[in-house]
Structure 1
Amino acid sequence: MTSPSDYDRIGFKVSEILPFLERCGVTLPLGDGGSVPETAPHVSDEPNAPEWVKPFIPRRKISLIQAAAFLAGVDLDAPVYLSDDEQAELGRWRETLEDAIDTGEIEATTWSTDRSREQLLSHAAVRSWCKRYGYDWPIPEADPQPATSAEALAEISRLLAENERLKVELAEHKSGELMADHPYWPEELGDCMSIWRAAAQRWKPNDGKTPKTVVEEVIDELHPGIEDAKKKRYSAVCNWDKDRNRKARTRE
């Protein structure tokens, strides 16, 4: 009976030559069964991930042996024996990963008796390590990063805009907490606080209006028909520009 690894003796890997021959219409018999053995899935360059890698996409931890198998291009769960070349390739990647773990390049858990299966590696750390050294990691990211500079710049712009929006919301929230209406405030004090908050948010240093002008505009909007004496009191309290010499300088 011919074993799956026998075809490797002529210089081909089972996982590569059998699918190629089958596409060309050549079927190789295997012993008495007369069928071609199932082979380990080959990781393609297609953007859509093969079915066999999809369960690993959301995983945060991957065993040492499984990570080595991904890099070696073999499927440990395939119903065929690994060839001698595949075993050797798997061993080389396992040793390389062990070295990266031992030198602190890849974050990993501790292990007891079976390092290959017990030690769990950080999926994100393995991905970053592969990217650093130019290795092809076959498991796509659950949330892929921008592929081009234009996409990256667009994402940065979006995040900066979102950051500014959140900063404004936080400032408004803090302002509201610090200056929240108090149930024991007298009526006029409550009115003045509302006027001052609205005027402070509206006033701009370079728009040509003094704080007093903006305060009085807000008073007219919030309290239409207010008595002149009351308006003057509100304006005097809410106007934060206390430069007494402004009028004198203006006349000069």
Structure 2
Amino acid sequence: MQTLLHKAQTRGSANHGWLQANHTFSFASYRDPSRMHFGVLRVLNDDLIAGGGGFGTHPHDNMEIITIPLKGALAHKDSMGNASVIHAGDVQVMSAGTGVYHSEFNHYPDKECNLLQIWLFPNQRNVAPRYQQISFGEKLLHNQLNQILSPSEKDEGVWIYQNAYFHLGKFNVGTNFSYTLKDPANNGLYAFLIEGQMQVKAQDQTLDLHKRDGAGFWETTQTPLEFKALADSHILLMEVPMAL
């Protein structure tokens, strides 16, 4: 089994006044050749947007873009004709495909919005752009993993053009759980601790994660990864193909 650990304080950062951004992987002016991607996981941005601030209309193509608000709400408009508000508890995906333009602004003029924006390389290029948004809210069960994304529109959560699976979970201190990769021959797991403190056991290795730390695991065979919440915790698990 291979592992890596990205401590929160080692992320790239940028302060634009209206935007405070933290980049787990190289993005915009932050570039680290050793942190370009984890398999098909290309971008993991932790953005804090001031009231009224946002990203004006800009293009994307051939990328799966997932937005997960953690606090507040985001107003979205795009060239496909979608106009919506994405709240904490929602998950949004855009398959940019042949090309799409969109804008994202804090929905509130006087409240901060904190969100995760995640980009994955797709397994199909030049598809027709598509948009999907699901509200989980109170449907997310406590002290267990909840699937929020998969490769199939018949499965739980949003779906994308990639053999990826995302799970969210909030766990009380002392809770244990495990995760076994759905496709261990091809996929790896990137764990991002949103809040709290967790210990992860991967075969003969033990990693301690604190708020906003990330850890990657691959070449796992069928061995489950064992997690223990050392404090009340909120975690995002992203299973993704390792080959581009």
Per the normalisation by structure 1, the TM-score is 0.20
Structure holding more helix per residue: 1
Query: Does 1 or 2 have the higher relative contact order (CA < 8 Å, sep 6+)?
Result: 2
- The higher radius of gyration belongs to 1
Per the normalisation by structure 2, the TM-score is 0.20
